[in-house]
Structure 1
Amino acid sequence: MSMRFSRLGALALFGLAASMPVTNIRALEGADSAAAGDKSIVSQAYKTPRAALLAGLQDFRSGAADSAIAALKYAAAGGEALAQWKLATIYAAGDGVPHDDVKAYEYFSQIIHGYDEDDPNWRDKSVVSNAFVAIGTYSLNGIADTKVRPDPARALDMFKYAATNFGDATAQYSLARMYLDGVGGDKDVRQGLRWLYLAADKGHVQAQALLGQMLFSGQEGLRPQRARALMWLTLAREAAMDAKKDQWIIDVYDKAMATASESERRVALSYLEDHLKRRN
């Protein structure tokens, strides 16, 4: 089990993280459509960080990257967490700007430093949670040739905070991986499986696949639960969309199905039906 995650710039780990705040963005734009819809807001001096945020989001969606970045930077400097998150993801992906993980790291850090857990702004909950996961990932891997060095202990803290306080499935999966591999602290299979199950139950595809793989083969001293494993592997296989990134999921599923008995498949189907009913 390799603990090295892919480069954050590709946003592989932020598939969910990049999608979570989109709802917030659309809600923001819908709630303030009268202001955001007026193009004059782009040309005039920004009256508030909030106005700059709305202008920046609108410009970015329309393809005006330069004015969008300027507006978002103004909003970020004014403490708008959503602007800080948007800039972080833009630089992490190199979306309309040169790829720059250091700038992404700095904007994600601003979100964390600006978060007041005693008086949280729940409008920004998903943005803050995503920032903790991002900083955890950067801390785990480091950024080559920069001051951001690998710091597994800090990564563990970041993932644990997001997993515990926000119930973030990606954080739970990352935390599980660290416990299972003994990275950032002592190996703890029991804790690893606990967090892995929580992430899998939330629909985290990689968590479902890893949990299924472990249960099917009885890894880490587990008693094999092949039918239960097939349920998790089936859920992961159905959700696997990226043929390249998710090939390992497809391979594990195919191997398990090829060696499972007819009885195990029938029981797995029953488990799957119960799981889907509970989720609905």
Structure 2
Amino acid sequence: MSTWVKRIGAVALFGLAASLPVAPIRALEGAESAAVQDKAIVSPAFKTPRAALQAGLEDFRSGASDSAVAALKYAAAGGETLAQWKLATIYAAGQGVPHDDLKAYEYFSQIIEGFDEDNPNWRDRSIVSNAFVSIATYSLNGIAQSKVKPDPARALALFKYAAANFGDATAQYSLARMYLDGAGGDKDSRQGVRWLYLAADKGHVQAQALLGQMLFTGDEGLRPQRARALMWLTLAREAALDSAKDQWIIDAYEKSLAAATETERQTALTYLEDHLKRRN
């Protein structure tokens, strides 16, 4: 069992220590793991799992999906973290294979089960972080017609681990939303706003937009800061795509801009310039 499963340590945020609950990865009852299945169906056509990984990535880039998946499965069964992650994302997106969230869940699970908190391989940092976030998201929503049922408490713990230990902006934003909504535990607006600030400062577009909305109207007990809010909304609007997914960001920006005074708009521009200088 990996170290992180045994314990999730306490972390400090803005000087406050928050104890993180343990959230072990529970295996799917009655289901074979992807690794077991792969070992049974993939012939050892490669000298090493690393060679299989390289061949799989090259085949995938060239569009040879079948041979790419076969090679990646062999590499994943041999413990190659990148192969496990690539297969997880392939199945999650249905790239060259039928869409299969359960298989994606199994491959993401392999990554976090193999993560050694006491002796981490930091070359895999972004991959491991993404796996934690992905498993947390599956735990939050569940997977239809599978044994993976919604488990908000587990999702909260996993998001918290990725947010605190990896500084993952998506985890920080998701954790903020759960605290603000009271999902997986008690509602905690103070913690929610703090995680939201962290995600927004890292450039997370949805976090910037939500923080801007809250600061403009004074939601969740915040003191209204309309110029600061407009700065965050402007950053989010500039990064948003004109699609249905981001329409709420565009609407929030336009509504706040229309309601702001000229002084608030000019102050927002000053804040924006200072923010961009600090980021650069």
TM bin (shorter chain) = 0.7 to 0.9
Gaps of 5+ in 2: 1-43
Q: Which residue number corresponds to residue 64 of structure 1?
A: 64
Percent identity (aligned): 83
Secondary structure (helix, strand or coil) at the match of 1:144 reads coil
Deviation at 1:242, TM superposition (A): 4.4
Q: Which residue number corresponds to residue 209 of structure 1?
A: 209
Gaps of 5+ in 1: 1-43
Q: Distance in 2 between matches of 1:127 and 1:221?
A: 36
Deviations 1:1-41 (CA, angstroms, capped at 9, x unpaired): xxxxxxxxxxxxxxxxxxxxxxxxxxxxxxxxxxxxxxxxx
Q: Distance in 1 between matches of 2:107 and 2:227?
A: 45
Q: Distance in 2 between matches of 1:225 and 1:111?
A: 42
The amino acid across from 1:266 in the alignment is Q
Q: Distance in 2 between matches of 1:125 and 1:243?
A: 31
Deviation at 1:145, TM superposition (A): 1.3
Aligned length: 238
Q: Which residue number corresponds to residue 246 of structure 2?
A: 246
TM-score by length of 2: 0.84
Deviation at 1:243, TM superposition (A): 1.6
Deviations 1:208-252 (CA, angstroms, capped at 9, x unpaired): 000000000111121110000000000000000242110000000
Deviation at 1:45, TM superposition (A): 2.3
Q: Distance in 1 between matches of 2:127 and 2:242?
A: 25
Q: Which residue number corresponds to residue 130 of structure 1?
A: 130
Q: Distance in 2 between matches of 1:115 and 1:51?
A: 22
Q: Which residue number corresponds to residue 178 of structure 2?
A: 178
Q: Distance in 2 between matches of 1:46 and 1:226?
A: 60
Measured on the aligned residues, the alpha-carbon RMSD in Å equals 1.1
Deviation at 1:271, TM superposition (A): 0.3
Work out whether 1:53 is the aligned partner of 2:78.
no
Q: Which residue number corresponds to residue 5 of structure 1?
A: none
Q: Which residue number corresponds to residue 151 of structure 1?
A: 151
Q: Distance in 2 between matches of 1:46 and 1:214?
A: 55
Deviation at 1:81, TM superposition (A): 0.7
Work out whether 1:116 is the aligned partner of 2:116.
yes
TM-score by length of 1: 0.84
The amino acid across from 1:190 in the alignment is R
Secondary structure (helix, strand or coil) at the match of 1:98 reads coil
Q: Distance in 2 between matches of 1:176 and 1:62?
A: 40
The amino acid across from 1:133 in the alignment is V
Q: Distance in 2 between matches of 1:96 and 1:45?
A: 21
Runs ≥4 residues deviating over 3 A: none
The amino acid across from 1:167 in the alignment is G
Deviations 1:162-203 (CA, angstroms, capped at 9, x unpaired): 001100000000000000000001100010000000000000
Q: Distance in 2 between matches of 1:220 and 1:278?
A: 28
